[in-house]
Amino acid sequence: MKQLKRIFMEYEEFEKAVDMFGILTRVSKKDLKKKYLKLSKIYHPDMETGSPEKFLELKKNYDMLCAYMDSYYFSFDKDEFKHQFPSFTNYKNWNK
Protein backbone atom coordinates (compact mmCIF):
# COMPACT_ATOMS: atom_id res chain seq x y z
CA MET A 1 0.00 0.00 0.00
CA LYS A 2 1.30 3.45 -0.92
CA GLN A 3 2.36 5.57 2.04
CA LEU A 4 0.95 9.09 1.88
CA LYS A 5 3.27 11.93 2.72
CA ARG A 6 1.70 14.56 4.92
CA ILE A 7 2.76 18.00 3.69
CA PHE A 8 1.56 21.01 5.59
CA MET A 9 1.30 24.17 3.58
CA GLU A 10 0.09 27.69 3.90
CA TYR A 11 -2.68 28.75 1.55
CA GLU A 12 -0.34 31.27 -0.10
CA GLU A 13 2.08 28.43 -0.93
CA PHE A 14 -0.78 26.44 -2.41
CA GLU A 15 -1.87 29.41 -4.55
CA LYS A 16 1.70 29.94 -5.74
CA ALA A 17 2.00 26.27 -6.75
CA VAL A 18 -1.33 26.38 -8.60
CA ASP A 19 -0.25 29.55 -10.42
CA MET A 20 3.10 28.04 -11.40
CA PHE A 21 1.35 25.12 -13.07
CA GLY A 22 -1.32 27.30 -14.66
CA ILE A 23 -4.18 25.35 -13.12
CA LEU A 24 -7.46 27.15 -13.70
CA THR A 25 -10.02 24.55 -12.68
CA ARG A 26 -9.76 20.81 -12.23
CA VAL A 27 -6.67 18.84 -13.13
CA SER A 28 -5.92 15.14 -12.96
CA LYS A 29 -2.65 13.76 -11.62
CA LYS A 30 -1.83 12.64 -15.16
CA ASP A 31 -2.29 16.18 -16.51
CA LEU A 32 -0.34 17.64 -13.61
CA LYS A 33 2.56 15.30 -14.38
CA LYS A 34 2.47 16.35 -18.06
CA LYS A 35 2.65 20.01 -17.03
CA TYR A 36 5.47 19.22 -14.62
CA LEU A 37 7.51 17.45 -17.30
CA LYS A 38 6.95 20.30 -19.76
CA LEU A 39 7.96 22.94 -17.22
CA SER A 40 10.93 20.90 -15.99
CA LYS A 41 12.37 21.00 -19.52
CA ILE A 42 12.15 24.79 -19.41
CA TYR A 43 13.52 25.30 -15.88
CA HIS A 44 16.15 22.53 -15.80
CA PRO A 45 19.56 24.04 -14.91
CA ASP A 46 21.19 22.43 -17.96
CA MET A 47 18.84 24.24 -20.33
CA GLU A 48 19.56 27.72 -21.66
CA THR A 49 16.43 29.13 -19.99
CA GLY A 50 16.99 27.06 -16.85
CA SER A 51 17.47 28.12 -13.28
CA PRO A 52 18.40 25.90 -10.32
CA GLU A 53 16.15 27.92 -8.00
CA LYS A 54 13.13 27.76 -10.32
CA PHE A 55 13.71 24.04 -10.94
CA LEU A 56 13.78 23.30 -7.20
CA GLU A 57 10.68 25.46 -6.68
CA LEU A 58 8.92 23.55 -9.47
CA LYS A 59 9.79 20.19 -7.88
CA LYS A 60 8.66 21.38 -4.44
CA ASN A 61 5.37 22.67 -5.85
CA TYR A 62 4.78 19.48 -7.82
CA ASP A 63 5.38 17.33 -4.72
CA MET A 64 3.09 19.57 -2.67
CA LEU A 65 0.23 19.40 -5.20
CA CYS A 66 0.60 15.62 -5.59
CA ALA A 67 0.51 15.17 -1.81
CA TYR A 68 -2.57 17.39 -1.63
CA MET A 69 -4.30 15.36 -4.36
CA ASP A 70 -3.37 12.08 -2.64
CA SER A 71 -4.68 13.20 0.74
CA TYR A 72 -7.81 15.00 -0.45
CA TYR A 73 -10.98 13.60 1.03
CA PHE A 74 -14.45 14.38 -0.15
CA SER A 75 -17.85 13.35 1.08
CA PHE A 76 -20.57 11.96 -1.09
CA ASP A 77 -23.56 12.66 1.04
CA LYS A 78 -26.92 12.89 -0.67
CA ASP A 79 -26.94 16.69 -1.10
CA GLU A 80 -23.41 16.78 -2.53
CA PHE A 81 -24.25 13.97 -4.93
CA LYS A 82 -27.35 15.79 -6.16
CA HIS A 83 -25.32 18.96 -6.64
CA GLN A 84 -22.59 17.19 -8.64
CA PHE A 85 -24.87 14.86 -10.60
CA PRO A 86 -28.30 16.50 -11.01
CA SER A 87 -29.36 14.04 -13.70
CA PHE A 88 -29.34 11.23 -11.10
CA THR A 89 -31.66 12.96 -8.63
CA ASN A 90 -34.59 10.75 -9.67
CA TYR A 91 -32.66 7.55 -9.13
CA LYS A 92 -35.18 5.02 -7.77
CA ASN A 93 -32.97 3.13 -5.35
CA TRP A 94 -31.10 6.05 -3.81
CA ASN A 95 -32.60 5.57 -0.33
CA LYS A 96 -32.55 1.75 -0.31
Q: What is the pTM of this model?
A: 0.62
Domain segments of the chain as ranges? 26-88
**42 vs 55: CA distance, rounded Å:** 9
CA 15 to chain centre: 11
Question: Within 10 A of 55 (CB to CB), how many other CB atoms are there?
Answer: 18
Nearest 10 degrees: Cα torsion 45, 49, 35, 69: 50
Q: Give the pLDDT confidence of 48-67 residue by residue, as tens digits.
A: 989 999 999 999 999 988 88
**40 vs 20: CA distance, rounded Å:** 12
**Closest C-alpha to 39, from 21, 60, 27:** 21
Mean pLDDT value across residues 28-44: 93
